Structure 1
Amino acid sequence: MKFRVERDVFADAVAWAARSLPVRPSAPVLAGLLIEAGDEGLVLSSFDYETSARAELSADLEVSGKVLVSGRLLADICRSLPHKPIDFDLNGAKLELKCGSGRFSLQTMPVEDYPSLPTVPPASGVVNGEEFASAVSQAVTAAGRDDMLPVLTGVRIEIEGDRMSLLATDRFRLSHRELTWTPNDTTASLAALVPAKVLSDTAKTLSGDVTISISSAGGEGIIGFEGRSGDGLRRTTTRLLDGEFPKVRSLFPAEHLTVATISKQELIDTVKRVALVAERNTAVQLRFVGDEVILDSQSGDEAQATEAVSADVTGDDLVTGFNPEYLLQGLSAMAGDKVDLSFTQPTKPVVIQATGASENNLFRYLLMPRRLLS
């Protein structure tokens, strides 16, 4: 195998394909990156039996072939190379690469031991890559990070015709994002529970139209994403999470007794300042009174903080409190300049959403209150 490729194009493709390589692979070959040079140009692949990644790019091919080398090492090398073309040459059990005056030689792994990548299911539909990335970044805000509860580490994708819903929860908060897409079957009703990290890493790197493929045939669910990144085609698949995702839609109340409309950035800045003196694992208190929201926090007798934010409050006055980190994460995920905080009563969750948000791209963030210190 022998080829030449532009450094920036190759480094980007290697970084994309190697991003899902396992830190502690169950077999040495799973730490490898498969490089194939042939009629399709250059194809880079990785697979750990859960998630696969495939990057296609163009190169000047002299001799076709395929080779398996350490993916992370290759990514580190490519990242450090000067912005000049790279020449690759497979010489026996070594892959040699030259870039400028630099020379590297990498030990190869047995290609025959590398597993075959899973087959991508038939396409289910297409979504705008930029809108999908934005929706995913909002939805994953509430995804769990506790591997002891794997179902909660995923984002549930629900599809009904041309409507797509993204839902995530860690039991303390809940995110819900709506968007439109173009399904291949307008009558299709699909659902998939996708690992949040894989979904987030994939969505933010794909551009243009992103093709989504969902299958649960044979009892083993798989989802595939295909789009463009940089100068080439990118494709990834991942196994769906097992288990029943909680029925969370009913947690959103049908009506609200108190609604406060507030400047998003002003509220974020105020929460950050007031939370500086909050004791670990304690709530920041919010008092909705008249035309303002008063925030309070304290650290025993050592420090206290109080600050008011102007707000348009309709409904009953109330006092509640929230984990400041969770509150900030929800506010930061909102689009627009103003947000609505909607309540039924102080001991029930707040629903946060951008003021005047369209139903077509609605994002709601539900946050459970925390007990206030007396």
Structure 2
Amino acid sequence: MERKKIRGRGAQSSAVPERFGLDQREADGDWRDAMEALDGPPVKLRTTVTEEHPRTILSFNQSPDIPFDRSVNAYRGCEHGCVYCYARPTHAYHDLSPGLDFETKLFAKPDAAKLLRDTLAKPKYRPRWIAMGTNTDPYQPIEARYRITRDILKLCLDTRHPVTITTKSDRVLADLDLLEELAKRNLTAISISVTTLDPRLSSLLEPRASAPRKRLAAIKQLAAAGVPTHCSVSPIIPAITDEFMEEIIAKAGQIGARSAGWIPLRLPHEVAPLFREWLDVHYPDRAGKVMSIVRSIRGGKDNDPNFRTRMKPKGVWADLFRSRFHLACKRAGLISHDNDPKFQLDCSQFRKPEIGGQMRLL
């Protein structure tokens, strides 16, 4: 029997993760505990936003696989609903499903800019570029209401602090005025992910992200304004999106992108069963082929979680994708990166922010 599709969302269920024992919790006797089991998910899922007030906002990492050591995430969860999103498992830490909860039960941090200002003002703080969009998209739909990303960009401009953004949304153009000023000082670079050129496929893979044509238009407008712009052809999903690689790179070169990169599909923790479920619903005819190729580039597993290898697939298929990518970049005149680009931004202009009305000495 054909599975019922949940339209407008990426995940097709609210599968409960097993890592934290959430599947063993006792029901409280409320009728809602059994509602989904009996009737299935609600016909129309509503997005909710909870405001949270953490004590810090700047996260540091020591990963050898990414070129930045600090990041800011203004939101948790992401309404874009990309079924392949490697950030989905983070919702499990909060007793929420990495499936439908991740894209419908969102969290916003309205104090993010203030918290970042306090951090930048500390005597021992030393600047290196801050990455935004590393976990969830800073320009997902709720940014239009909260404008947290804009507040952070204002702070970065005021303090001359370098910042990068990764997004799947043309909403980034709402802050073009700030990005232009940052770019003039070599303080920013933007990476826009274009997964496919097929709007129907995009609506299934990443149902509430901007359409591919809008992302390409954003690259063109950012580049025309002098903002260094990178096109990320990510993730590459074998037998689903890889056919678009060359055309995406060619278009990116034509509209002014400076560089391009690719990242193969990653399926950590609960993302693997969610993606398999998505394949069964939307592409049952090729599900086996897709996962066979994924496992072939991941050492026979659905995912490789190890440092230094998780971003570097191996095997015949990986070599083929890599060769195709580099050849396409050469033809398009783009600088090529196998994963995240290493932006060269200026940290020497940094000036500590004013705190409590105290003026800068210089």
Structure in which a larger fraction of residues adopt helix: 2
Same fold (TM over 0.5): no
Q: TM-score range by the shorter chain?
A: under 0.3
TM-score under structure 2 length normalisation: 0.21
Structure in which a larger fraction of residues adopt strand: 1
RCO (CA 8 Å, sep 6+): is it higher in 1 or 2? 2
TM-score under structure 1 length normalisation: 0.20
